[in-house]
Amino acid sequence: MKNKILLLPLLFAGFLSHYTMADGKAAKAHEHAAEEKQGMHDGAMKKHEDSGHEDSGHEESGHKESGGHDDGGGHEHDGGGSPVGMPANASDATKVIKVTTLDSMRYKFSDDLNLQAGDIVTFIITNKGRIPHEFSIGDAEEQQAHQAMMRSMPNMMHEDGNTVTIKPGKTKSLTWKFASNDQVIFACNIPGHFEAGMFLKTKVAGSNDEQEIKDIIAGIKFGWENGDGKPFRDNFLDFDGARYIESGGQNAGLDSLVTHHVEPEKDALEYLKLDFSDIEINFEGDFAWVIANTAVKGKVKNSDRKFDKTGYQTFLLRKIDGKWKVVHSHSSSRDRKPDSHKH
């Protein structure tokens, strides 16, 4: 029996509303860098010792130790979203990782990170040294921006969504929801600390759900380009009231979309090339919504007319019996604008 979704328009509107709310220089010569790092570290230690800070001790407990090996980057301190994720509530954490900051300019993590997209991690950061340290999460560009800011305001203390400053002997916590990203950097950007190696780079793997949805989108691309309705019948939910919107027009129901639009393309067009890019996938329980840039080119068989358009595509999906299904789609495109730099 076909599934019937009575509240789809309301759900889709709700999700869209939620969504809308929701240089550093290259390293110097190797021998000079080593000398510079030691000098910065010794200078920082001397400054804080002269201020009367006492050693709070350091416990060795099998923590994973991090060290820097190349340049990192910086972030904007707005406490909001980032290419590597966003702040989250500690009550939603799926794992807890303890972090120790050391005056040797290293972090120690209590566990291997093994991060996946969607993981919500509470980091409990304890400063076992005699000088302040930071724990900041971001990509290379964000960390570079943070470093530049700290060079101009070296005594700034942070309590932002992605950065905390930890004084000697103190403990702070930070909860973060990770997004799929080729590289996440954990860094201390107090002047001299990052340069001395106080950072760790790691990768965040895409979740299984995310990969499944990307596979569905790849199937949709194949279906449009080859006039093949199977990827649509396999991955779209057929239900009363389904609407698939395209540049001001609509197909009422899955059968209409496939038989009146997808499959006729192979007879009407000499070729069709469709690309999805900058695919952004968001999850909310058993629902997911996707926003992507589109580029479509083609040529009509019975004429010399060609088209070249760019636009956007949205998909709303629902997880049913462990499988993601498209329940609504909306695309909009316009003729590609001429490149103003070409003469």
- Report the range of poorest mean pLDDT among 162-171, 190-199, 254-263: 254-263
Phi and psi angles of residue 64, each rounded to the nearest 5 degrees, phi first: -75, 130
Q: What is the pLDDT, as a whole number, of residue 1?
A: 41
pLDDT digits (tens, 9 = 90+) for 275-301: 999 999 988 888 999 999 999 999 999
Burial 64-95 (b: 16+ CB within 10 A, else e): eebebeebbbbbebeeeebbbbbbbeeeebee
What's the predicted TM-score (pTM) here?
0.47
| pLDDT tens column, 157-182 | 888 889 999 999 999 999 999 987 77
CA–CA dist 153, 40 (Å, integer): 17
Bridge partners (DSSP) listed for residue 325: 318
- Express each pLDDT in 91-136 by its tens digit: 999 999 999 999 999 999 998 888 888 899 999 999 999 999 999 9
Close Cβ partners of 9 (under 8 Å, ≥ 6 residues apart): none
